[in-house]
A and B are shown apart, each in its own frame.
Chain A
């Protein structure tokens, strides 16, 4: 469907990739760890190695959780926009085909949150 308007109602999307100074916005959430109320967002340089994304922004956001230190990244299960996704840790954001405003979710089997309650 389309908006009903008096005149043409067509404007540029406010958050297209070109508006972020070369960065791509990427979202990531940690499944089964409800201590973090929502997924978070970062503007990432396309040449940032995925491993550095984990060790940098992601660690800064999620390492307050006692499960963080025990994550085995080779066993982590990822989705991108709800579809299965297998990141190459050595590849960059661009090498991994991450697009502007992709939403990642990772699951860490065996780590079930505070008291095993998914928190």
Chain B
């Protein structure tokens, strides 16, 4: 019997086909609809899954080799940075608060993204998108890991980072990014990939990535810069996947357009609401600033995404209507947010401070139509309160939007001294919103948002207390119990930057590194 001679090496094309689509099979004793029960209920019609074009012709073995090489480099740099006390070469200790925002608010989203893509990588019946989603899922897992590893170097020395998982699950302001992602992850697979793969990864990603990673570069943070660069090539792939999905879905059936447009409208708005945190970081938290939020919006949304939406017009896609309001809020967003975080500082896991005279001049120059008129007087008054030893601080729990969960600090579009409120009733219960767009999102799917965990309400319901603490005890202190439940160490993790342990330690350690001053005993962090 002759033994067939097999070729020793497969050609690239052959190898790619075998290692991606060749991995799928037709089920023989189960109906396809039973094997993939989730990819039809959203109403998206796909007639030909084979029409899917892989945006990146990457096979698993190549992926493995390529990523391993990147990680070796990344960890070599991280080690060198840690061993040379790289944290002391930062522009200023205030910068570390941007790192805290990142590890608490964004790294857990990478992990959620891993879970989401792993989930939908099982749910699409087309093999091509399943393989692409699986690789993105692995990317996201690696990103959250490398971010945690890079930032653990800071957590050894500074407060507010060690409880990032618990904070992400429970700290009030972190319910904003958390609820954003859980909204996507509890949708069907097509909505998830439009929400995260397109709206977040494609439309808004530069507004996250550039501020944080350029901010890291400008402020001497080699650690964050390195994981940023390591992730960048993956991000390019994710953007391509996001765009490919939109085009694929729109080309498959004209009935898909209104569904997809609804998701684009919803997720652009939800994404921009989450980016409030980034806007604030950019304008207020970086000691050396890269560009203002307004400038970033102009470049990365108006110019880049404007071109993208013009390109998608041939499918009938329109620029989301909410963009009008985002434009009106552009010159207000970061100032409103920092005002909220400054006064709500007891429940933050990072420090806040008032902008210096120099900072305010920069803000005036970047926001000539709004800063001096509406926001400078607020900061100057609060500076006076601080100077008098009576710093202003909110003492009550803020009212929150039922959809985005952000405290209701947004003003009426075009009326910067009037707080916006929207109100609706659903099945006998009342709900409040920060905007028309959040109200519309609720009214489109009220069943989903009536279950939103509003952290202020959780406190009132007695849900924000540590296990074993009795709220009927005469010595019960609800504020202290809530801080303990949230694992916020009062005065260490929260509060003002000036006078903080982080500030004192950084100044002392940097002093030791750059002078021959007699050593004082370092305080534990």
Contacts and interface: CB of A to CB of B under 8 A. Distances in A.
B453 interface: yes
Interface stretch (B87-95, B192-200, B220-228, B337-345): B337-345
Interface string A5-18: 11001111111100
A75 interface: no
A82 B419 contact: no
B429 A101 contact: yes
B445 A1 contact: yes
Given A1-B445, A13-B427, A19 B461 contact: yes
Contacts of B476: none
B430 A39 contact: no
Contact of A13 (B381, B445, B450): B450
Given A37-B407, A100-B430, A21 B394 contact: no
Contacts, number: 144
B4 to A, nearest CB: 47
Contact of A2 (B37, B377, B419, B445): B445
A119 B377 contact: yes
Contact of B454 (A10, A15, A40): A15
Interface in B418-451: 418-419, 421, 423, 427, 429-432, 443-448, 450-451
B267 interface: no
Contacts of B381: 35, 114-115, 119
A29 B394 contact: no
B396 A41 contact: yes
A41 B395 CA distance: 11
A1 B43 CA distance: 14
Contacts of B395: 60-61, 64
Given A16-B429, A103-B421, A36 B394 contact: yes
Contact of B399 (A19, A40, A114): A40
A23 interface: yes
Contacts of A34: 374, 378, 417, 419
Given A4-B42, A35-B381, A117-B377, A103 B423 contact: yes
Interface string B322-336: 000000000000001
A116 to B, nearest CB: 10
Nearest to A43: B460
Interface residues of B, number: 53
Nearest to B457: A15
A3 B447 contact: yes
A37 B409 contact: yes
Interface string B219-248: 000000000000000000000000000000
Contacts of B417: 32, 34, 117-118
Interface in A18-52: 19-21, 23, 25, 27, 29, 31-32, 34-43
B258 interface: no
A64 to B, nearest CB: 6
Interface residues of A, number: 50
A19 B454 CA distance: 13
Interface string B365-394: 000000000100110010000000010101
Nearest to A65: B392
Interface in B447-503: 447-448, 450-454, 456-457, 460-462
Given A39-B398, A40-B396, A61-B395, A9 B447 contact: yes
Given A2-B445, A4-B42, A27 B432 contact: yes
Nearest to B393: A64
Contacts of A32: 417
B336 to A, nearest CB: 7
A2 B462 CA distance: 31
B408 to A, nearest CB: 5
Nearest to A80: B423
Contact of A61 (B396, B400, B427): B396
B66 interface: no
Interface of A: 1-6, 9-16, 19-21, 23, 25, 27, 29, 31-32, 34-43, 57, 60-61, 64, 81-82, 99-103, 105, 114-115, 117-119
Given A11-B451, A101-B429, 10 more contacts: A15-B461, A35-B381, A36-B343, A37-B398, A38-B419, A100-B429, A100-B430, A101-B431, A117-B374, A119-B378
11 contacts: A3-B445, A4-B188, A6-B41, A9-B448, A14-B451, A34-B374, A34-B417, A35-B381, A38-B409, A60-B395, A60-B396
Interface of B: 37-38, 41-43, 188, 336, 339-340, 343-344, 374, 377-378, 381, 390, 392, 394-400, 407-409, 417-419, 421, 423, 427, 429-432, 443-448, 450-454, 456-457, 460-462
